[in-house]
A and B are shown apart, each in its own frame.
Chain A
Amino acid sequence: MSLLIGSTTIGLILALLALGIFISFRIFSFPDITAEGSFTFGAATASALMVAGVNPLVACLAAFVAGMIAGASTGVIHTRFGINPLLAGILVMTALYSINLHVMGKSNLPLLSEVTVFSWIENFSVSVSGAGDKMMIIGWEVTTKDVWLLLFCFFGIVIFCLILWWFFKTNIGTAMRATGDNAQMIRALGVNTKKLIITGIAISNGFVALSGALLAQYQGFADVQMGLGMMVWGLASVIIGEALINDNSVGFIIAGAVVGSVLFRLLVAIALRWGLNPNDLKIITALFVFIALIIPGLMKNKPKLTFKRKSHAIN
Chain B
Amino acid sequence: MLSIENIKKTFNHGTVNEVRALRSVSLHIGDGDFVCVLGTNGSGKSTLLNAVAGTFFVDEGTIVLNRTDITKWSEHKRARYIGRVFQNPFTGTAPNMSIRENLALAMKRGKKRGFGWGLPPALINRFKQMVMPLNMKLEDRLENPIGKLSGGQRQALTLLMATALKPDLLLLDEHTAALDPKTAAKVIDLTQQLISKDKLTTLMVTHSMQQAVNLGDRIIMMHQGKIVYDFKGDDKKRLKVNDLLSLFDELRRKDNIDPAVASLLEEYYI
* Chain A interface residues (CB < 8 Å from chain B): 167, 169-175, 177-178, 181-182, 184-193, 248, 309, 311-315
A248 to B98, CA, bound (A): 11
B116 touches A311 (CB 8 A): no
Contact, CB under 8 Å: A188 / B84: yes
- Is A187 within 8 A of B76, CB to CB? yes
With an 8 A cutoff between CB atoms, is B20 at the interface? no
Task: Please choose the segment from B9-17, B103-111, B244-252 that sits at the chain A interface, where 4 or more of its residues have CB less than 8 A away.
Answer: B103-111
B32 is an interface residue with CB less than 8 A from chain A: no
Within 8 A of A (CB), among B51-88: 53, 74-77, 79-80, 84, 86
Asked whether B97 lies within 8 Å of A190 as measured between CB atoms, the reply is: no
Q: Is B208 an interface residue (CB 8 A)?
A: no
Q: Can you pick out 15 interface pairs between chain A and chain B where the beta carbons lie within 8 Å of each other?
A: A170-B117, A171-B114, A171-B115, A174-B119, A178-B97, A182-B90, A182-B94, A185-B93, A189-B110, A190-B77, A190-B79, A191-B113, A313-B96, A314-B96, A315-B145
Q: How distant is B78 from chain A, measured CB to nearest CB, in Å?
A: 8
A313 touching B119 by the CB < 8 A rule?
no
Cβ contact within 8 Å between A313 and B111? no
Are B145 and A175 in contact, with the CB atoms below 8 A?
Answer: no
Nearest residue, chain B, Cβ from A176: B113
Interface check B95, CB cutoff 8 A: yes
How many positions in chain B have a CB within 8 Å of any CB in the partner chain?
Answer: 40
Q: What residues make up the interface of B, taking CB atoms closer than 8 Å to A?
A: 53, 74-77, 79-80, 84, 86, 90-98, 101-102, 104-106, 108-111, 113-119, 143-145, 147, 161-162
Q: Which A-chain residue is minimally distant from B92 (CB atoms)? A: A185
A184 and B93 CA atoms in complex are apart in Å by 9
Instruction: Please give, as numbers and ranges, the residues of chain B lying within 8 Å of A184 by CB-CB distance.
Output: 86, 91
B118–A169 CB distance below 8 A: yes
Question: Given A189-B79, A190-B80, does the pair A312, B96 have CB atoms closer than 8 Å?
Answer: yes
Q: How far is the CA of A187 from the CA of B93 in the complex (A)?
A: 11
B114: which A residues are within 8 A, CB to CB? Answer: 170-172
Specify which of A181, A182, A187, A309 is in contact with B75 (CB 8 Å cutoff).
Answer: A187
State the Cβ distance, A219 to closest chain B Cβ, in Å.
36
The answer for the CA separation of A244 and B106 in the assembled complex, in Å, is 33
- A172 & B147 in contact (Cβ 8 Å cutoff): no
Q: Least Cβ distance of B220 to chain A in Å? A: 23
Quote the shortest CB–CB distance from B104 to chain A (angstroms). 7
Question: Nearest residue in A to B112 (C-beta to C-beta)?
Answer: A171
A181 touches B94 (CB 8 A): yes
Distance in angstroms between the alpha carbons of A34 and B15 in the assembled complex? 37
A130 to B147, CA, bound (A): 58
* Distance of A173 Cα from B119 Cα, bound (Å): 11
B95 touches A188 (CB 8 A): no
Given the complex of chains A and B, what is the CA–CA distance between A9 and B80 in angstroms?
A: 48
Question: Which of B91, B94, B101, B119 gathers most chain A CB within 10 Å?
Answer: B94
Residue among A186, A190, A191 with max Cβ neighbours from chain B (10 Å): A190
Task: Among B53, B79, B96, point to the contact of A181 (Cβ < 8 A).
Answer: B96
Residues on B with beta carbons closer than 8 Å to the beta carbon of A193: 76
Which of A182, A189, A190, A248 has the most chain B CB within a 10 Å cutoff?
A189
Residues of chain A with a CB closer than 8 A to B109's CB: 189-190
Known: A309-B96, A312-B145. A188 touches B113 (CB 8 A): no
Cα separation A182 to B106 with both chains bound (whole Å): 13
Q: A177-B97, A178-B102 are in contact. List 5 more A-B contacts (CB 8 A).
A: A169-B119, A178-B97, A188-B79, A191-B76, A315-B96
A173 adjacent to B118 (CB under 8 Å): yes
Q: Is the CB of B95 within 8 A of A182?
A: yes
- What residues of chain B lie closer than 8 Å to A192, measured between beta carbons? 74, 76-77
B161's contact among A172, A175, A189, by CB below 8 Å, is which?
A: A189
Known contacts being A175-B105, A185-B91, A191-B76, is A315 close to B98, with CB within 8 Å? yes
Residues of chain B lying within 8 A (CB to CB) of residue A172 = 113-115
**Min distance, Cβ B68 to any Cβ of chain A, angstroms:** 15
A312 to B91, alpha carbons, bound, how many Å?
Answer: 17
Q: How far is the CB of B50 from chain A (nearest CB, A)?
A: 11
Contacts of A313 in B (CB 8 A): 96-98, 144-145, 147
Name the residue of chain A whose CB is nearest to the CB of B83.
A188
**Closest 7 A/B residue pairs (Cβ):** A313-B145, A190-B79, A190-B110, A174-B118, A181-B94, A171-B113, A315-B98
Residue pair A186, B96 in contact (C-beta under 8 Å) = no
